[in-house]
Structure 1
Amino acid sequence: MGLAAVFLLAALLTWAARGYALRRNLFDQPGERRSHKVATPRGGGIAIVVSQLMAYAVIGVVRDELAGVLMAFSTGLLLVAGIGWWDDHRPLSARLRLCVHVVAGALLGMLVWQASGDAFKAFFSALLAIGLINVWNFMDGINGLATTQAILAATAFALLLPMPHAGIALLLATGCLGFLPFNFPKARIFMGDVGSGALGYLLAGLVALGITVTDIAWPIWLVPLTAFLVDSGFTLLARMRRGERWMEAHTQHLYQAYVKRGRSHAAVTLDYALFSVAGLTLCAASGELPPVWGSMVALAWAVIGFCIWYMLRNRIVR
């Protein structure tokens, strides 16, 4: 019943966000650094953010012992979503956005430190939050891609987490499902920075939860994120190696390159989904492995992801 309410709320709020964007003239315009061809309203990701915050509020009331943790995590989410919402209305400097992301990441790290007393886990969680906020922003460039990857990653985390923690992952997947019909296969609204950054932070929160409440090897928690981590990470390294201004918007990610070659948004999104479904299956099969073996499996999957990215990238270049 609770998941159905989250789905309906996210769908209703996405519809409302589209109307708001049309009235306020909030559009992403086509251009050389864009992968779409028509002006499209943006900011629909606010629906996912609100659906999650309201769910956390209800959980905090029902489960008093979780209220403090959820309040702190919600504060970080509000910071990330808030700066993204502001940026969707009036572009802000990259430095200001990064400062807010660092504060939100630090909040997540503090929560992990408080729960585990493990400095490595706390630092890893904070750094991952900052990274995923920006990775999801970089990779949110075609219809449905960022949303479907978040759904699949959250589903994988739900399979790995014990109950009731798995329910938090399902809340995220359900909220994204409420937004998805408005963004895929045809985009009637884009997620915007408010949504892409929030998804990155929410997924980092699920990873932080996983490494805190389970003994599963921490690299396993990165397997569902491999598609985005490989494409964004190695594209960034390639741009830095060429001496380009890597902070500027571009269309050099693998998914963007394929769209420029004429492959449809839907086909590329489904290609990435197929890879991530394989990763999800691997996660489900590896959750019970000893940490050393789990780490080796995750490393092998990362190498496979890189090899696929490198092969496809070279094919496009040629």
Structure 2
Amino acid sequence: MDRDLRGAGRGGHLAGARLRFAPQYGRRARRAPQPRRGHAARRRHRHRRRAVGRGDRAGPALSSYAPKALVFGLGLSLVAAIGWVDDHRPLSPWLRLGVHALAAALLAFALWHGGSPNWLVLAAFVLALGLTNVWNFMDGINGLAASQTVLVALAVAWMGGGEVWRWLALALLAASLGFLPFNFPRARIFMGDVGSGAIGFAVAGLIVLGADAARPWRGMTLALLLIPLAAFMVDSSLTLLRRVGRGERWWTPHTQHAYQVWARRIGHARVTFAYAVFTGLAVASLSLVTEVRFGFMLCMGAGWYISGAFFGG
């Protein structure tokens, strides 16, 4: 009898279970592809969780770029704004230099605030102030500044660190390529101070920020990215030193750069092409330079600058 009661209890329990779950597993429910929908829903849920996980991992990485990118954009806007005003109404060179120094200081502060080493902070200030004016000085013949920007931006996108900075370098490269047909071989439009100064600041910023992101090879990356600048750096530096040595008003406009002297002799197109070949060889050699020790790399870079001095002298 106990066995019968236990059997009846089990039967009642199972019957109750069937009654409770019958609405869920009726004919209509079986006809509807619930298991597939449930499986797909579980898959979507897992994918969503994975996507959120990837977003959580990417979020901090992207957010780490945001403060530096914001300050970089602010400095770039200051340089472009003062250049635009100067294009329409000539300003004091000291006022322009002061704004350039402010923009360079902002970039340096962003690196310092981000924990970059002091030597890179100093390099950021010097490069930003220097290249802003170097690109302005060297924008004197057709296609020269734009073609050099293309090559240097290519080097930054290739050898620099940080995905954001590499993409910005590619954007600068694309913008310069789009501008080049209108400025070379016959110039129909010009950069002006608004364009040349802003490009110089952008080049400096992307070089330093790309080097900063290439941890722990910051020094090596910066040394590499300085090599394609040799043509512009040597020409502008030697010309400035000669003018200072002669006691001239070095801050005033002039036509004494090596590229300007060459252009008067052989024409704009040949000079622009010669500078492009020199810088193009520097960019092409970067992959070879990375195969040697850092000290030898510095010697190779110095040798390239010396050859540039001989080339431009």
TM-score normalised by the chain length of structure 2? 0.76
Within-5 A mapping of 1:69-218: 69-162=68-161, 164=163, 165-214=165-214, 215=217, 216-217=219-220, 218=222
Check the 8 A contact 1:116/1:212 in 2, yes or no: no
Distance 1:293 1:116, change over 3 A: farther
Structure 2 partner of 1:241: 245
Q: 1:267 aligns with which of 245, 252, 270?
A: 270
Q: CA deviation at 1:198?
A: 0.5
In 2: Cα distance, 1:278 partner to 1:210 partner: 21
Q: CA deviation at 1:258?
A: 1.3
In 2: Cα distance, 1:225 partner to 1:186 partner: 25
Question: Structure 2 counterpart of 1:228, which letter?
Answer: F
Residue 279 of structure 2 corresponds to residue 280 of structure 1: no
SS in 1 for 2:254: coil
In 1: Cα distance, 2:112 partner to 2:288 partner: 29
Question: Which 10-residue stretch deviates more, 125-134 or 299-308?
Answer: 299-308
In 1: Cα distance, 2:256 partner to 2:151 partner: 24
Structure 2 partner of 1:256: 260
Distance 1:112 1:68, change over 3 A: closer
In 2: Cα distance, 1:291 partner to 1:234 partner: 27
Q: CA deviation at 1:299?
A: 1.0
Question: Structure 2 counterpart of 1:176, which letter?
Answer: S
Question: Structure 1 counterpart of 2:275, which letter?
Answer: Y
Check the 8 A contact 1:210/1:221 in 2, yes or no: no
Q: CA deviation at 1:158?
A: 1.3
Q: CA deviation at 1:226?
A: 0.5
Q: CA deviation at 1:109?
A: 0.6
What percent identity do the matched residue pairs reach?
Answer: 46
Q: 1:222 aligns with which of 226, 233, 241?
A: 226
Question: Structure 2 counterpart of 1:271, which letter?
Answer: A
- Structure 1 unaligned segments of length 5 or more: list them: 1-59, 311-318
Distance 1:79 1:246, change over 3 A: same
- Structure 2 unaligned segments of length 5 or more: list them: 1-58
Check the 8 A contact 2:240/2:250 in 1, yes or no: yes
CA deviation profile, 1:241-285 (whole Å, cap 9, x unmatched)? 111111111111111101222x22111100100000011112232
Q: Which has the higher helix share?
A: 2
Question: Structure 1 counterpart of 2:199, which letter?
Answer: L
In 1: Cα distance, 2:284 partner to 2:226 partner: 13
Q: CA deviation at 1:137?
A: 0.5
Question: Structure 2 counterpart of 1:167, which letter?
Answer: W
Q: CA deviation at 1:124?
A: 1.1
In 1: Cα distance, 2:205 partner to 2:290 partner: 18
Q: Which has the larger radius of gyration?
A: 2
TM-score normalised by the chain length of structure 1? 0.75
SS in 1 for 2:190: coil
Q: 1:297 aligns with which of 293, 300, 307?
A: 300
Within-5 A mapping of 1:41-80: 63-80=62-79
In 1: Cα distance, 2:249 partner to 2:106 partner: 30
Check the 8 A contact 1:156/1:284 in 2, yes or no: no
CA deviation profile, 1:64-101 (whole Å, cap 9, x unmatched)? 44333211110000000000000001000001001100
Distance 1:308 1:111, change over 3 A: same
SS in 2 for 1:229: helix
Question: Structure 2 counterpart of 1:103, which letter?
Answer: L
Question: Which 10-residue stretch deviates more, 173-182 or 228-237?
Answer: 173-182
In 1: Cα distance, 2:106 partner to 2:294 partner: 27
CA RMSD of aligned residues (A): 1.8
Question: Structure 2 counterpart of 1:190, which letter?
Answer: F
SS in 2 for 1:97: helix
Q: CA deviation at 1:160?
A: 0.5
